[in-house]
Structure formats: structure tokens, C-alpha cells
Chain A
Amino acid sequence: MNLNLHIWRQKNKDTKGKMVSYQVNDINEEMSFLEMLDVLNEDLLRKGDDPVAFDHDCREGICGACSMVINGRPHGPTRTTTCQLHMRYFNSGDNVYIEPWRAGSFPVLKDLTVDRSAFDRIIQAGGFVSVNTGSAPDANEIPIGKEIADEAFNSATCIGCGACVAACKNASASLFVSAKISQLAMLPQGAAERKRRAESMIAQMDAEGFGACTNTGACAAECPKSIDLTNIAQMNREFIGAKLTSELV
């Protein structure tokens, strides 16, 4: 198939970007979307042009590096990561618009590559259990019901891709942040610090300039790992609980 690509090109953080059109031909429908871009980049290189920069690594939907808005949707038309999108979802002659995540807290570094270090800083603010190496009790000492363990796992599958932020009209990071808060709040190991954790992670989220959550649900609709909106509700409960007791002391 042949496609008309329209891709955001931006030299670096400090210059303005624009959409540039390219044609790619003979695309095989078994290719992944990123392999299609590899073909484009090889063409550009042979002509001596700068290839399109984009983040990617595992190419199997788990590292969370790939991050493109394709025809207006984060990760494109199917509910997968960009790297797991295959060309069989496109038709010859299609116009395909490819843009980076758009959010003030994710500045563009070049072309489709953005800076998501804000997510790391939110985890640093409290997304952990304070346990030093070597000080853990036997792993089976605290039984955890299968249902709870499974629920915690569901929240823990977040890959930190940022599609939730890109999908949200307020650029809120609530789904990402709540997934970690909920995972650790559900487990006995995380219970001791749950209040402090919720407060400081939310404070960091705000400090990074992410928008407020207005419950539109766009994030969960685009999340490739099906992180559920109930995580946000849980985060709000944790936060209120923390605030209440904070005010008491």
C-alpha cells in the first residue's frame, strides 16, 4: 500500500515545528507502524535528509517508550501501543497524521520525541515502599488474598507511556499517578506510607504543571494497558483521607 504521511518535524526544544508531508510506497500490511517509519527513515537517510526521531525500544508493548498521536489518537486507531499497531489497519491512499504527545509537561525534544521525566519525578516523590535491601521478612509471612493481589497487579501494569496525558484535554496525569497510588495502597506492604505517598505524589503532579482531572474518561479510553478509572477514585479517597488526618495533627 502507499500512504501519505504528515509528520511533525521540530529540530529541537527551542525551535518551532511544523507538519511535513512524505509519501511511502509498497508498505506491507504485516509491518508494524514503526517498521513503516523505519522504511521512511531509510529513504530519508539515503537522500541525505534527517530521519524522523521517535522514542521506541522493546517494540512489544511493554517498555512504554513509543509515543505518537496518530490521526488524532494517542497510539492510533487500536487500543495498543504504537509499536503493536500493524499496517493492516490502514488502506492504500490513506492520509496519516503523526504528532508527538501534546502536553506542557512533556516538552518536545525533537520531532516525535518528548521529555517525560516528569513521570520519574512523580515516582521519586513517593511511588515506593521504604524498605532497604536485606530488611525484608519472609515473602510468605504476610498472605495477600488472590483477588487483592490480582487487583494490585492490574494497577501495576501501567507502562508509563503518557498516552493518558496526551488524550486528556486538561493534560492531566491522574490515571498514571493513581495507578501507582492504588497498587501500593491495596497491598499491606504499602499501607504504612499510604497517606504520605498520596499527598506527596499529588503535590509533585501539580508542581509539574499537569492539569486537573475533570472525569472525562478520555485517558482510560486510550490507555493501552486498560488502567481503570476506578484507580482515580481510589486516589481521591486516599488523598482526602490523608488531608483529613493531616489537618488533625
Chain B
Amino acid sequence: MALDSKIPDGPIADKWTKYKFGLKLVNPSNKRKYDIIVVGTGLAGAAAAASLAELGYNVKAFTYHDSPRRAHSIAAQGGINAAKNYQNDGDSVYRLFYDTVKGGDYRAREANVHRLAEVSVNIIDQCVAQGVPFAREYGGLLSNRSFGGTQVSRTFYARGQTGQQLLLGAYSAMSRQVAAGKVKLYTRTEMLDLVVEDGKARGIVTRNLITGKIESHSGHAVLLCTGGYGNVFYLSTNAMACNVTAAWRAHKKGAYFANPCFTQIHPTCIPVSGEYQSKLTLMSESLRNDGRIWVPLKAGDSRPPADIPEDERDYFLERKYPSFGNLVPRDVASRNAKYVCDEGRGVGSSKLAVYMDFADAIKRDSQKTIEARYGNLFEMYEKITGEDPYTSPMRIYPAVHYTMGGLWVDYNLMTTVKGLYALGEANFSDHGANRLGASALMQGLADGYFVIPYTLGDYLATIGHQDKISPEHAAFKESEAIVTERINKLLSINGKFTVDEIHRKLGLVIWDYCGMSRSAEGLTKAKKMVQELKHQFWTDVKVVGTNEELNITLEKALRVADFIELGELMIDDALNRNESCGGHFREESEVDGEAKRDDENYSYVAAWEYTGENQPESLHKEQLTFEYAKPSQRSYK
């Protein structure tokens, strides 16, 4: 199938407005005849469920959590961007658009990004109206900060808990619709398959996580708002249960998966302290505004940091990138931390860490000022490590944080399966090869509040309300049988390896060969290793208990099985893209250690089509054109 991105014609600033006018509308009294399935109730899902219910559609919303308030979105710290230009510092919709396309290293679609920047201003209005307590100035107006090295202050925040406050806002809006009877909420219910019939998404098959019951739910459209796949790496800053299953099942039913190798590695996380480590904790990007990053000049120097004199320290980011210094983009900061550790200059017991030092900032601005800025982050660091960052530097190391890749969607957010949409981190759309800080919250809410309520109506009006099948239809029964068979298979293997053991091995392979630095040789090796792990999993994994109970091992096993397959596709994608762009660094494509993008050959979205069990996936290319933000090689020197 040829990819049609459905980008509207016309000047970029008018595209969305004109397009909205051309979309078909569903008559208000007909909206209640449509059933919409929303999988995932994080920022994207809760926003979509609430907004669609307000319009009058019947929404069924699903989450594997015990409450929508637990979604991974809750953990976002830093803030949310919006082109309000409240600070009068030269921001505009166009500048946010431009920064996002450039930050994504020219691998995102211009039209989508411009729309995102346009609706960003409405998001802030909506959230404030819901009672989201953003930070304010003494005069009572909203406060902003600059985030991730941007030149303007456009980030809105609620202390270090922006994601929490935004999610609770969306959750409250959805709760209001639950009370109104327009949203039916299914908690502790996991989608395990997508049902496609006559080329259209018809519904989903779920497992009740308490009773194990397998059930079918049918609707006129299915929205996947199921988050990112960073946990393919086992260790990441994502919540423990984040997984790719919903997206992967949809992929196997015809939804193309775009740019799977585009993953973001965040430079400032608390380093791994041992084998038992279950997840990694992010230290907000904002710390780099005041923290100076360094390692000892000499390899193997294991003196405590205070004993290392100034002239025996290497402030490597300031040295290599004098104009941006410690504020270089995430991918550049991460890669350089890896390089100095590879040279044997890492610090701490694992030697896989660098220092982030606040001594100079405290001397300059006083401890009180630093405390007011980062108090809660310093406290969190101390809780986890038992060390006091006011008196000795923090130890940090990069960790997987976000996935730019995801299900391919057109301008309507529709995947390559009709009636199946992907919103939020689950789609690939707006961040190209690298996401700027504070832009994921913006995108999730833009998709849910302000894009899907318009674009979905066009599809529904086209198909009509009678175009729906019953959950008793053979297509659902077939899907239920496949899900049940898969579960029974997992329960019957009774091998020697625990699910976590295999997952940890998978994570290491992906981290080592498809992480911060990638090469054809390494990737080829990794592909074989992942295939071996797949075999090991399906012949030698140990899953105890039964289906008909709360079974935490079975839940994990179903997710890890899909991560393994995704891992292989990530490797294929990374192998195919023989250029360095954004978070994807190919060792074959560099100049003086810096990434070299290849616009001539790789200015496209790589969308992968599933072609059958153990078959190579086939690649479809969506060519990208840049009419406004003209590609230039990034330089931070």
C-alpha cells in the first residue's frame, strides 16, 4: 500500500484551519449512535475520551492500571511548551514549529508540527480552566521557564510535577464524563489484540487482569493511546508496566510501524547501581542550566571529587561545545558522556557515570537560590543514592527516556488500518529523530483535546453509524481463540528462565548495539542475538500459575514476547538508516565525531509493514519535504 499522508495543500499557517473546514461533520443527534474505543487513559487517551464524550459519542476507555491517574504521564517533571509568548521574548507559533522541526533533525512532517504549535496555546487555556495549578508570578500571571536550551521561555510548569497536574486535569475531565454515562471505564483490563474485518478496525480483545477473562469489545473506531516502548531496553525511565503490546498487535494486523529505531536517551539520570536495578530515575533537564558536567582528566583517577583539583578536571561539554556548553541537546550530551566513560574516565563504583556539579552555582547564587530552583530534585537524588548533592556533585548517566518512533499515522492520526488511530507517544508523528524537552506532554494533549475530535468525525460521517460488527462476529471469536492459545502456550512451556531474566538480556543487547551508538557490524550481531532470545523465550521461559487469576508473571510474559519482536525491527530499521540523525547515531556516518545527516538518501519516514511470522518486514518510504524549515546541519560548537 502506498502511504498517503493526507497533508493539506496551501500555506503552512492556513493548512489546519482550511482542512478543518473541509472535514465532514457528524450530526449532533447522530453522535450517540457511534461507539469509540479508546485504549489507554494517559494524557492522550484521557484527553481524547473526555473530549469525544463531551461531543456526544459513546466512549469505552481501557487501561491496565487500577486507575487512569496512574498512567506513565503522571511522572513527567519538567513542563509543557506552548507558543503563548506571554514573556514577550519573541516566541510565536512559527518559532515553536521551527524549533521542533530543527530539534527533530529534519525527520518530522512539517504540517503536523505546525498544527501542534498552533493548538499548543489552547492546551494551556484548557488546563488552567480545569484547575491545573501552574506556577505563577506574584502578579498572578502564569510563569514560564526556558527548557532544554531553547532561546525563549515558553515552558509552563507545575513545580517538578507538571505531568501529574496535567494528567489529573485530563482525568478529572474524563471522570466527569464517566459520571455523565458517556464514558465507560474499564480498569485493570489489557488489550491483547486488535480486530480487523473488511479492512477496518472493528474493536479489541482484552484480558481482565483480575479474573483472566478474555472479552471482545466492538466499536466504530479504535484509538490507541498506549504510550511508548522504551522498556524494550528493560532499564529506562519509563514506568515498569509501559509496553508495546497494543501497538505491536495492531502492527501485526496491518498498521505500519514508523522509525522504530528513533529512541531518545536522556543524559541526566541516576546511574545503575547493581544487577537488581529495576528502573532508572530521571533528573530533570533543567539541572543542566546550573550544573557543570565533568570527569577526571586522567583515566582511572578514583580520588573523591573534592580531591581532584580544577586543572585535573575535564568539563568536556564546555570544552567541545563552547557556545552551548552544558546545554547541548540531549543526544549530544548523552553521546559525549558515553565517550568519556568508554575512555575509562567514568566515575563512581561502576565507572559508568559523570559528575554534575553545583558547587559554582551555589557559590554564585547561594544555596538558598539553588534550593528554591531544584529542591525537590536534590531531595529525590538524596533519597535514592543516600548522597547530598549540595556538598558533593551528583553522579549521572544517560538512560532511555522516550520513543519518537511509533505507529505510522497520516494527518488525521489514522494508521494504515482504516478506523484505527494512534495518539500521543504511541504514534511517530511530530518529533522526528529527536524530541525537544516539554514537547511530549504538548503533543499528547494536542492529539487528544484538539486534533482527534475533528479528524475522527470525518471518518465516522463517511462510514455511517451502521458500519459496525457485533462482538459475536466470527472475526472476534477468531481473535479470542488466538489470544487464548498464546496464553496457554506460555503457561505450558515451564522452562528455566524467568521472564525478567530474558527481558534483561534483551535490554542489554538493544542498549549495547542499538543504543547511543550503532554500527552495521554491531547491529548485524545483535539481530542474531535477539533471534536467539526469541527462541529461548518460546522454548524455555517459566510462567507459573493459571490464566484465571491475577497473574503478574503472565502479564509480563505477554509483553516481553512482543518486545522481543519489536527489538528485531528496531535493529532492522537502524541497519537500514545509514546516516546519523537525532538520537540515531551511525558510526559509519560522522565527521570529527559529530553526527552526519544524509538528506539526499534518508530524508524519509521509514514505515515497516508486517508480512508474516519470521518474515522480513517490508519497508515503505514517506518522503519528507521541507518548504519552510530548511534543513541545515546542526552545530553546537
Which residues of A line the B interface, CB within 8 A? 11-12, 28, 30-32, 34-35, 38-39, 42, 45-46, 48-51, 53, 55-65, 80, 84, 86, 88, 109-110, 113, 115-117, 119-120, 123-125, 127-140, 143-146, 149-150, 152-153, 156-157, 159-160, 183-184, 187, 189-190
* CB within 8 Å of A: which B58-74 residues: 65-72, 74
CB <8 Å contact, A109 and B74: no
Q: Which of A28, A132, A153, A189 contacts B54 (CB 8 A)?
A: A132
Q: How many angstroms between the C-alpha atoms of A149 and B136 in the bound complex? A: 7
Residue B421 interfacial (CB < 8 Å): no
User: B550 to chain A: which residues have CB within 8 Å?
Assistant: 12, 53, 109-110, 113
Q: Which of A30, A139, A143, A157 contacts B124 (CB 8 A)?
A: A139
Q: How many angstroms between the C-alpha atoms of A62 and B69 in the bound complex? A: 10
**Could you say which of B272-280, B297-305, B402-410, B482-490 contacts chain A?**
B272-280
User: B127 to chain A: which residues have CB within 8 Å?
Assistant: 139
CB <8 Å contact, B65 and A65: yes
CB <8 Å contact, B552 and A51: yes
CB <8 Å contact, A140 and B86: yes
User: B498 to chain A: which residues have CB within 8 Å?
Assistant: 42, 45-46
User: B32 to chain A: which residues have CB within 8 Å?
Assistant: none
Which residues of B line the A interface, CB within 8 A? 47, 50-51, 54, 65-72, 74-75, 84, 86, 122, 124-131, 133-142, 158-159, 161, 164-165, 168, 171-173, 175-176, 178-179, 185, 187, 210, 239-241, 273-274, 276-279, 281, 380, 383-386, 449-450, 453, 498, 500-501, 542, 544-545, 549-550, 552-553
Q: How many angstroms between the C-alpha atoms of A134 and B449 in the bound complex? A: 8
CB <8 Å contact, B552 and A63: no
Can you identify 13 A-B contacts, CB atoms within 8 angstroms? A35-B278, A48-B542, A58-B72, A64-B70, A65-B70, A84-B384, A113-B550, A120-B175, A133-B126, A133-B173, A140-B141, A145-B138, A146-B140
Given contacts A45-B498, A120-B67, contact A59 B278 (CB under 8 A): yes
Q: How many angstroms between the C-alpha atoms of A132 and B182 in the bound complex? A: 13
Q: Which residue of B lies closest to A59 (CB)?
A: B279
Q: Which of B72, B161, B171, B500 contacts A123 (CB 8 A)?
A: B171
User: A12 to chain B: which residues have CB within 8 Å?
Assistant: 210, 549-550
Given contacts A42-B498, A57-B65, contact A144 B130 (CB under 8 A): no
CB <8 Å contact, A57 and B240: yes
User: B240 to chain A: which residues have CB within 8 Å?
Assistant: 56-59
CB <8 Å contact, B239 and A57: yes
User: A38 to chain B: which residues have CB within 8 Å?
Assistant: 276, 278, 500
Provide the main secondary structure of the chain A interface: loop
CB <8 Å contact, A143 and B140: yes
Q: Which of A42, A113, A145 contacts B500 (CB 8 A)?
A: A42
What's the minimum C-beta distance from A225 to chain B, rounded to whole angstroms?
A: 10
Given contacts A59-B239, A116-B67, A123-B175, contact A129 B130 (CB under 8 A): yes
Given contacts A31-B276, A57-B241, A136-B126, contact A63 B74 (CB under 8 A): yes
CB <8 Å contact, A124 and B178: yes
Q: How many angstroms between the C-alpha atoms of A219 and B500 in the bound complex? A: 36
Q: How many angstroms between the C-alpha atoms of A6 and B125 in the bound complex? A: 50
Q: Which of A50, A64, A187 contacts B133 (CB 8 A)?
A: A187
Q: How many angstroms between the C-alpha atoms of A11 and B544 in the bound complex? A: 14
CB <8 Å contact, A153 and B133: yes
Q: Which of B75, B128, B165, B383 contacts A139 (CB 8 A)?
A: B128
- Count A-B pairs with CB separation below 8 Å: 215
CB <8 Å contact, A116 and B128: no
User: A61 to chain B: which residues have CB within 8 Å?
Assistant: 380
User: B278 to chain A: which residues have CB within 8 Å?
Assistant: 32, 34-35, 38, 59
Q: Which of B51, B72, B131 contacts A187 (CB 8 A)?
A: B131
CB <8 Å contact, A189 and B129: yes
CB <8 Å contact, A184 and B273: no
User: A149 to chain B: which residues have CB within 8 Å?
Assistant: 133-136, 140
What's the minimum C-beta distance from B526 to chain A, rounded to whole angstroms?
A: 25
Given contacts A12-B550, A30-B273, A63-B239, contact A133 B51 (CB under 8 A): yes
Q: How many angstroms between the C-alpha atoms of A107 and B254 in the bound complex? A: 41
Q: Which of A34, A45, A58, A120 contacts B239 (CB 8 A)?
A: A58
Q: Which residue of B lies closest to A132 (CB)?
A: B54
Q: Which of A28, A57, A80, A136 contacts B128 (CB 8 A)?
A: A136
CB <8 Å contact, A128 and B134: no
Q: Which residue of A lies closest to B448 (CB)?
A: A133
Q: Which residue of B lies closest to A116 (CB)?
A: B66
CB <8 Å contact, A157 and B161: yes
User: A153 to chain B: which residues have CB within 8 Å?
Assistant: 133, 158-159, 165
CB <8 Å contact, A137 and B125: yes
CB <8 Å contact, B125 and A138: yes
Given contacts A58-B74, A117-B187, A124-B175, contact A64 B553 (CB under 8 A): no
Q: How many angstroms between the C-alpha atoms of A45 and B139 in the bound complex? A: 58
CB <8 Å contact, A58 and B130: no
What's the minimum C-beta distance from B71 to chain A, rounded to whole angstroms?
A: 8
User: A115 to chain B: which residues have CB within 8 Å?
Assistant: 66
Q: With a 10 A CB-CB cut-off, give which of A32, A132, A143 has the most chain B CB atoms.
A: A132
Q: Which residue of B lies closest to A185 (CB)?
A: B131
CB <8 Å contact, A45 and B130: no
User: B47 to chain A: which residues have CB within 8 Å?
Assistant: 133
Given contacts A51-B552, A117-B67, A134-B122, contact A125 B131 (CB under 8 A): no
User: A31 to chain B: which residues have CB within 8 Å?
Assistant: 274, 276
Q: How many angstroms between the C-alpha atoms of A80 and B380 in the bound complex? A: 10
Top 5 nearest A-B pairs (CB, nearest first) are A143-B140, A136-B129, A128-B172, A153-B133, A136-B125
CB <8 Å contact, A63 and B140: no
User: B124 to chain A: which residues have CB within 8 Å?
Assistant: 139
